Amino acid sequence: MLKEYLVAGILLASPLLAVAQDLIPPILEKADSFVEETWSVDSIPKVIYIDGEFASVSDKDGLTLIPPSAHEFATTFQDDLAKITGSNWTLKRVDKLSNNASGISLGGYTGESSDLTYENGKSTSEGYEIIINSNRVFIGGSGARGMWWGTRTFLQLLLAANGTITSTLGRDAPAYATRGYMLDAGRKCYSKDFLKELCSYASFFKMNEFHYHLSDNYPLNRGKNESWRDVYSHFSLLPEDKSLRGILHGRENETLSKNDFAELQSHCASRGVTVIPEIEAPGHSLYLTKWKPELALAKKDLLNLTHPDTLPTVQSIWKEFLPWFKTKEVHIGADEYDAELADDYITFVNKMSRFINSTASKRSRIWGTHEPSKRNQTIDKNVIIQHWQYGQSDPIQLVKDGYDVINSEDWWAYTSLKNDHMPILPARYPQFCNESRVFNFADKEEWQWTPADFNPVNTSLQLKSDDERLRGATLAAWNDNGPDASTQLEAYYSMRRGIAVVGGRAWSGSRGPKLVEKTSDGSVDFYSPRAPDQNLDRVLSLEDNGTLLSWTRSDGDEKEVHLGHGSKGMNYTLTLSITGPFTLTGPDNTLSLDNNGNMVFTADGWEYPLRKVTKDDALDLDPGAPGRIWVNTSSTHKPVKMSTPSEITLVTDALHGTVVFIDGEVVGRFEVFVYGGRNTQFSWSQMAFVAPLDKIVGDLEGLGLTGGSNFTEVGGTGGKESADVPQGSDAVRIPPRGLYTVPTYQTTLHHGQPSDSDYESLSLDVDGDQSLKIVNTHRSGSRPSGAKHMDPTALIPIRMAPDADQNLAASFLQRAIGNAGCLGFPGWRLISRNDEFEREISETEASLKRAEPIEMLIQAGTIVLLLQHGADGLGDTPTNFAIHKHPESCGYDSAKLLLEQVVGHRICFGPEQSHSTLLWYHAAS
């Protein structure tokens, strides 16, 4: 507990902060101040001080062999702050930190080392303390990484509170040392830049390992290829020894060179993440057996471990790459081998583990694999077992037998990019991380998973949370459906929320605060495009007219036009005016129309023509397998021939993929055929392409881009956007400077009679960007049944009690209308505190009949909350509220939190009441 912090004005608090977004992960122990004091990024010097002695500290207890110093972490933090705030920050190394220096101070933890431990009681250099008052932020780490993780907490606070943070004290440390994510790069290649961005994203949620599954092959049983030699296999690294390049099979340009991989490892280390490389053998080894067929068993992706050249060949590959790997642990794969050859398997694993340890002083990991030895052999105890499925390994027995264990139980951890495994048992692997299995482990409501939770069937068989053999957990994303079944960014969409949620739970464990399930999606949507040093959501800034981009060819334009906007990610609507063949390119893909009318997206070297599908197939998603169109439907899937001139609209989200409309009618969609084989059924699956917005060549005459993917609006009935569709960057708008600018405003009192009803209102013009109106509507008698409120897209009224906190009210308003799974405009910041404004509010209230009820309308787009309080009017503290909520708006709890800040005190709701205000809403709708 934070006993040393319980001084005058401080108390322990269970809620983390009264801000619009939840911290992911939450702080382990936190204290709040009674004093209404805030730290504002706009009012302090842009200086970061770091203790000179602590600046040289680098952690020795982590897995990386290239641990950054605290000063190097501070430099990265400095860059992040500059990008988020739009200001230049100075980093100063000082002999001693001053308690009176304004700005941000970084140093060592000021308490006892025993304060900061993993859940098993072992000390950790990953812990930190954070202290925030009106003019200073102090982050003290038990090690350099601890200080780094503290800066991630601070940046989340900074973003969530819009630059103004309530004073607080906190102490935090992870429950487990392994908090990882795995990406299958053996069945699809991923670029260095994508992997770096994914690492930056994961680091923001305090994940510290990237398990790089760098070799594998497409399943042999899918039926896609006539010969096993033609089946896709991949090895992701480029050997410098040219005699080993037979493992690449002509795809040298799809690999990372030694320098590329060094850059990736260095980048990840600079953000607290260690790359754990995995080279698969003796199973999943088609990359090797296609090169040396004599080393294969009858099942061609399995190595013949009795062949005299097999072990030397595998060791020669490891000998090439071990010097590249800047980590104390590596992964040698070793899963799904023939159980009848268990003794050969065990011998191979032990020899490889000993070879790697003697050659490079590294410890080995393997996947849990059933190995029923006939000679009572066992895997060496220093090999770490990554459990992935019951029947292959039993984590409780492994711990009893003396093995360290990592939790990747497939029931909660596995995703299969684009298509789930169906009907493979014991678990279907969804195309997006199933967070509900983390929030409700074993399908038990409110049982939030921890790395100690393995068994979803017999719930009594879990590890103890403080077992010293339990290393932690790793989320896994697999490319079983092959290299063409998804884009690189679709891997991010699959893992986006999972990385945050699993990272949060692996950090907190059973001892820490739980995540808030109902607001977690909104919090991830808020943070994902704002996490520094990545733009995986491919966010663009809105133009003043609300569109993302609008371009029309002028007479002076050449056939080649540089737009220079990169790509726009999920979700979007792109309208193109075309008069002939064209090419629209971006950094992630290319959209083209050829002379024969074929429209094609090209991504990662694969071509995807527009194919004919019916409206029902394209828009009405199969709830059990969204995005998949089964082979027995009426869609022909034949390539569509486009005629010109034409105006076409491409509407895209992650589940529908990219669907094309002409004149409101579905023409087709971009898709991929996924082979079934033994594990899955054959189907066509959606391809969700980002919009390429860098360069135009050819006969494209106009382009318009907006956010959102309202298939109903474009295509008539059907295809409504679902709350289950991952929203990605469409959930937010990012101003150019990152943080929202604190607005200047002017207030004007208006009188009038809209719809035959007396009213008085106050208007706020916020930086000329949006017009917000604060509205009090006075009802004198019954309102006409046909009466309507003012323009619902322009009204966001808020009334604050004089003693309410303006920053908290603004934050909760953002939650209620924009960032908790609701539509809205989270870029708006509302400030109602100045003398002139308060005077006009008072004059308005005085002019109202105090005995009459007064309404407040909180509305944005389709989000409607109608509130009515007691007859005492706004001038007195209201005591009773009735709330009428649009069914698609945010929950009552969010509204309650908002109102508690708006009215300045805690409130409680009674039962919903039928009232004329509800009729007024229907009239307004």
The CATH number covering residue 131 comes to 3.30.379.10
Both 662 and 560 in one domain: the answer is: yes
Both 156 and 191 in one domain: the answer is: no
Query: Rounded to whole angstroms, how far apart are CA atoms 693 and 470?
Result: 47
* Domain region containing 118: 3-172
User: Which among 155, 172, 189 is the end of a domain?
Assistant: 172
Query: Rounded to whole angstroms, how far apart are CA atoms 333 and 656?
Result: 35
Question: Cα 118 vs. chain centroid, distance in angstroms?
Answer: 25
CATH code (residue 613): 2.60.120
Burial 788-812 (b: 16+ CB within 10 A, else e): ebbebeebbbbbbeeebbbbbbbbb
Active-site hit among 336, 435, 760, 845: 336
- 88 touches 32 (CB < 8 A): no
Both 655 and 803 in one domain: the answer is: no
**Residue 233, token pair as written in the block:** 């296999």
188-203 pLDDT tens trace: 999 999 999 999 999 9
Both 382 and 506 in one domain: the answer is: yes
- 41 touches 158 (CB < 8 A): yes
In a domain, 846, yes or no: yes
Query: Rounded to whole angstroms, how far apart are CA atoms 180 and 178?
Result: 6
In a domain, 538, yes or no: no
User: Which among 731, 766, 795 is the end of a domain?
Assistant: 731
In a domain, 737, yes or no: no
Identity (one letter) of the amino acid at 887?
Answer: P
Both 844 and 862 in one domain: the answer is: yes
346: left (phi over 0), alpha (psi -120 to 50) or beta: alpha
How many independent structural domains does the chain possess? Answer: 4
What's phi and psi for 178, nearest 5 deg?
-105, 115
In a domain, 219, yes or no: yes
**Residue 37, token pair as written in the block:** 């004091």
Handedness of CA 458, 461, 462, 464 (dihedral sign): positive
103: left (phi over 0), alpha (psi -120 to 50) or beta: left
Both 514 and 382 in one domain: the answer is: yes
3-state SS class at 381: coil
Burial of 766 (0-12, 13-18, 19+ CB in 10 A): buried
Beta bridge partners of 179: 473
For 420-545, where are the alpha helices, taking DSSP H only? 436-439, 488-508, 517-527
In a domain, 281, yes or no: yes
Does 336 qualify as catalytic in the annotation?
A: yes
Q: What is the pLDDT of residue 322?
A: 99
CA angle 719, 721, 722 (to 5 degrees): 110
Both 239 and 344 in one domain: the answer is: yes
Query: Rounded to whole angstroms, how far apart are CA atoms 98 and 722?
Result: 52
Query: Rounded to whole angstroms, how far apart are CA atoms 231 and 448?
Result: 40
Residue closest to 405 by CA, chosen among 383, 427, 372: 383
User: Which among 172, 199, 227 is the end of a domain?
Assistant: 172
Both 801 and 722 in one domain: the answer is: no
Q: What is the pLDDT of residue 32?
A: 60
In a domain, 35, yes or no: yes
Both 789 and 656 in one domain: the answer is: no
Q: What is the pLDDT of residue 542?
A: 64
Query: Rounded to whole angstroms, how far apart are CA atoms 523 and 821?
Result: 9
360-418 pLDDT tens trace: 999 999 999 999 999 999 999 999 999 999 999 999 999 999 999 999 999 999 999 98
Both 719 and 806 in one domain: the answer is: no
Both 197 and 148 in one domain: the answer is: no
Q: What is the pLDDT of residue 425?
A: 54
Say how many C-beta atoms besides its own lie within 10 A of residue 220's C-beta.
17
In a domain, 742, yes or no: no
In a domain, 257, yes or no: yes
pLDDT under 70: residue ranges of the chain = 1-20, 32-36, 421-427, 542-546, 677-680, 713-925
805-810 LR contacts (CB < 8 Å, sep 24+): 805/18, 805/36, 805/901, 806/830, 806/831, 806/832, 806/833, 807/38, 807/161, 807/162, 807/164, 807/166, 808/18, 808/19, 808/166, 808/901, 809/898, 809/901, 809/902, 810/162
Distances (CA, A) of 291 to 131, 229, 301, 318, 411: 58, 9, 11, 16, 35
Residue closest to 38 by CA, chosen among 199, 161, 175, 177: 161
Both 103 and 183 in one domain: the answer is: no
